[in-house]
Amino acid sequence: MILKHIINQIKYLLERTVSFKSWIFQSQNLQKLQNKKTNKQKMNKLLISALICLMIATPSVFCQDVENNISEDIKVQDLLAYNKWRFNYKRVYLNEEEQIYRQIVFFENLASVNKHPSHKSYSKGLNQFSDMTKEEFKQRVLNKKISKKASSNKGGRNLAADPAVSNLVFPTNNLPLSVDWRKRGVLNPVKNQGTCGSCWTFATAGILESFNQIKNKQLLKFSEQQLVDCVSLAGYDSDGCDGGFQEDGVRYAIEYGIVQSYKYPYVGYQGRCKVTSPTSRSVGFYPQKFQLVNKTEADLKAALVFSPVSISVNADTWKEYYGGVFDECGYTTEEDLNHAVIAVGYDQEGNWIVRNSWSAAWGEDGYIRLAPGNTCGILLDGLIVTQ
C-alpha cells in the first residue's frame, strides 16, 4: 500500500508539475519558455530517480546525486511538500496558469520558512496562507480600518459622559504571576474568518462570549456574520469584510443585541442584514457597558485578571508564524494597527497569550505568544466588556 501511494504521488507530480525554470512571470502573466519540453523531460527523469530514492530504506550516494542535480530547479521534497499541502488545504484553482503561479508563490514562501534561523524565539511553518504573497495577505486578511480610527481620533474623545462606557478601576498592584483564560472554560474553539477582513467581528463576538460565560455561566457562540452584515447599516463606521472596529461591534450589540451563530451563521462575505431592529432579549445577548484599557503593560495585565481583552495589533509579519514567542513586529504606532484579536492572558515570563481568528491550524492551535511590552502594538487599543 505504501509503495502504491508513493507511485501515485509521483504520477501526480509527473502530470501536474514542471521545472521551476520552465516558467517565468513576465508583464504580470506567466509565459511558457520555448524549452518547456526539454525542462519537463529533465524533471520527469529526476522525479523517476526520486521514486527510486523513496523506495530505498537508507540514504545512498545515488540519492545524494539526485538531490544535487535537482538543486538548480525545484527539489523533489519541495514538490512533495506542495502536493501534500495542496491536498491538506483542498486547494482548487481556476486554471493551469493560476495553479502554476500559486505553486511558484508557495515555493517562495517555503523557502522563507526553510531559511528561518533556528536560534530565533519563534518558528515559521506552512499554513493556509502559503500560496499568498505578502501583499495579498494584507489585502485579503488584515483590517483596513483600524489605523484610520487612530488618525481620526488624534484629538481625543471625552468618554466620561458616555452611558455605554464604564469607569472601573483594575488594580495594578499584586498582579498574579500568570493568567490564562484558556484553562478556565470561558473560550470557544478558535474560529476562522477566512479571506474576509472581519477580524474585528471575531474579536467582538469572542469577548462577548467570554463575558457571558463569566457572568451568566453560559458559553454560547455569537454571530460574527450579524456584525459583518449589520453594523454599517446601523450607522457605524465599520464596513464588514473591509474592516471595522471592536468598539462599533460592542456598541451595536448594546443597541441591537447579538444572536447566536446557529441562527445567523458565518459565510465570510457581507450580505443583506437580517436583524434590522433590536432583537428580543430572549433571543439576543445585550451587553451594557465596555471600557477602554489604559495603554500600559500593568493595565492590560490588570484587565486580563477580569476577563479576556479585545486588542488591535500590527500583524503584517504573522503570516508564517508556527510557534514560540514572537518578537519581530518592529516599532508599532496606532497608525500601524491592522488586525483585531483577543488577549487571553500572560505567562510567568510576561509573554502575552493571544487568540487569533485564522483557525486552529495556524500558530499554536490558533494562538500566538507575543514578547512582553508593546509587541506588535498590543497595548494601544484594548477594550473590555464590563457589564
Would residue 230 show up in a list of annotated catalytic residues for this protein?
Answer: no
Q: Is the pLDDT of residue 228 over 80?
A: yes
The secondary structure element, H or E, covering residue 361 is: none
Separation CA 363–CA 320 (nearest Å): 8
Q: Which three cell numbers stand for residue 378?
A: 498590543
CATH code for the part of the protein at 140-385: 3.90.70.10
Catalytic residue among 196, 199, 230, 241: 199
Helix, coil or strand: residue 137: helix
pLDDT for the residue numbered 147: 60
Give tens-digit pLDDT for 241-268.
999 999 999 999 999 999 999 999 999 9
pLDDT for the residue numbered 175: 97
- Residues 76-83, mean pLDDT to the nearest whole number: 91
Q: Are 314 and 146 spatial neighbours (Cβ–Cβ below 8 Å)?
A: no
List b or e across 230-244, with b for residues whose CB sees 16 or more CB atoms inside 10 angstroms. bbbebebebbbbebb
| pTM of the full structure | 0.80
- Residues 348-355, mean pLDDT to the nearest whole number: 98
The secondary structure element, H or E, covering residue 198 is: none
pLDDT for the residue numbered 143: 81
Q: Is the pLDDT of residue 51 over 70?
A: no
SS (H, E, C) 224-293: HHHHHHHCCCCCCCCCHHHCCCHHHHHHHHHHHCECECCCCCCCCCCCCCCCCCCCCCCCCECCCCEEEC
pLDDT for the residue numbered 246: 96
Q: Is the pLDDT of residue 282 over 50?
A: yes
pLDDT tier at 191, thresholds 50, 70, 90: very high
Would residue 196 show up in a list of annotated catalytic residues for this protein?
Answer: no
Return the bridge partners of 368, or none.
Answer: 354
Domain ranges of the chain: 2-115, 140-385
Catalytic residue among 339, 351, 374, 376: 339
List b or e across 332-355, with b for residues whose CB sees 16 or more CB atoms inside 10 angstroms. bebbbbbbbbbbbbbeeeebbbbb
Catalytic residue among 329, 356, 374, 376: 356
pLDDT for the residue numbered 76: 85
Q: How many CB atoms lie within 10 A of CB 118?
A: 5
Separation CA 202–CA 190 (nearest Å): 10
- For the chain, percent of residues with pLDDT exceeding 70: 76
Q: Is the pLDDT of residue 303 over 50?
A: yes
Q: Which three cell numbers stand for residue 142?
A: 488584515
pLDDT for the residue numbered 148: 58
- Asked which of 3-17, 106-120, 338-352 is least confident by mean pLDDT, the reply is 3-17
CA 313 remoteness from chain centre: 12
Give tens-digit pLDDT for 135-170.
999 999 998 777 655 434 434 455 666 888 998 999
Q: Is the pLDDT of residue 132 over 60?
A: yes
pLDDT for the residue numbered 158: 56
Residue 174 to residues 120, 177, 191, 291, 378, Cα–Cα distance (Å): 32, 9, 34, 22, 22
pLDDT tier at 19, thresholds 50, 70, 90: very low
Looking at per-residue pLDDT, the higher value among 289 and 39 belongs to 289
Separation CA 331–CA 380 (nearest Å): 12
pLDDT for the residue numbered 30: 38
List b or e across 305-320, with b for residues whose CB sees 16 or more CB atoms inside 10 angstroms. ebbbbbbbbbbbebbb
Give tens-digit pLDDT for 163-183.
889 989 999 999 999 999 999
pLDDT for the residue numbered 256: 95
Q: Is the pLDDT of residue 39 over 90?
A: no
Residue type, 11: K
